Amino acid sequence: MQLRLNHISKSFDSQQVLTDVSLGLETVHTLALIGPSGGGKSTLLRIIGGLEYPAAGSVELDGQAVRFDEAGLLRHRRTIGTVFQAFNLFPHLTALQNITLPLERVHGRPAAEAEAIARQLLARFRLEAHAHQRPAALSGGQRQRIAIARAISIKPRLLLFDEPTSALDPEMTAEVLDVIRELREEGRDFILVTHEMGFAHRIADHVALLANGRIVEAGPPQQVLDQPTTPQTREFLAKVLKY
């Protein structure tokens, strides 16, 4: 996909969270967004997903600018699949219902069709046995796989993952990263915020480091992760790779 972020700024109250963020990628399949906590990664992802509006600047996907008005955002959000760190799922609904509800309510799919899609995805992610369980009865890895199944059920043009494994222990992290790698191999386009540098290196075709609301460095992983040119990138990588 083609992705253009043009001079995006955003503040919350008096705090400037993003400052003149620009990134132009003519073809990108996987963009990894990395950087220190509080640097603005989630805010940028939410703006790209139409969950937040920028104070200034624009977002273009495949040459199409996102319209940051109510109707434009509703339309845009329906084409994007999002997976957050945790607490993604509706706690009172079963795994199956977590997938069928948005398909029916937001995307207007008939109930039988929504259920067929959901069952197929649950089978694909080896979750059939858990179709009628609520999130609280499932492991963190299973919950995130349901969240991913739900995100792809709507056939999004772009998937957004915001630290999808940060709340998981290592075994479950591997389960979820395996699924993300499969999606990559299928040719799906996504943006991934992650602290898993090894994974980012293997999977991303572009990496951007965001710190203090600015893009400090961007390029292919072999450049940004192996031969960083800015002191801020080096310092960040030294910290996350220390142990």
Ligand X SMILES: Nc1ncnc2c1ncn2[C@@H]1O[C@H](COP(=O)(O)OP(=O)(O)O)[C@@H](O)[C@H]1O
Interface stretch with Mg ion, choices 42-50, 126-134, 146-154, 229-237 (CB under 5 A) = 42-50
Contacts of 78 (CB under 8 A, 6+ apart): 106, 107, 154
Query: Which parts of 4-33 interact with ligand X (CB under 6 A)?
Result: 12, 17
Q: Residue 39 or 49: which CB sits closer to ligand X?
A: 39
- For residue 194, what is the DSSP state? -
User: Cα(48)–Cα(61) distance, rounded to whole angstroms?
Assistant: 9
Instruction: Tell me which of ligand X, Mg ion, none is bound by residue 39, counting a contact when its beta carbon lies within the kind-specific cut-off of 5 to 8 angstroms.
Output: ligand X
Q: Note whether 42 binds Mg ion by CB under 5 A.
A: yes
Residue span 29-68 as binding mask against ligand X, x where in contact by CB under 6 A, dash where not? ------x-xxxxxxx-------------------------
Tokens of 223: 């450049």
Contacts of 143 (CB under 8 A, 6+ apart): 86, 88, 89, 135
Minimal distance, residue 209 CB to ligand X, in Å: 11
Minimal distance, residue 176 CB to ligand X, in Å: 18
Give the strands of the sheet with 30-34, arranged side by side.
80-83, 158-162, 190-193, 30-34, 206-211, 214-219
Write out the residues near Mg ion by the rule CB under 5 A.
41-42
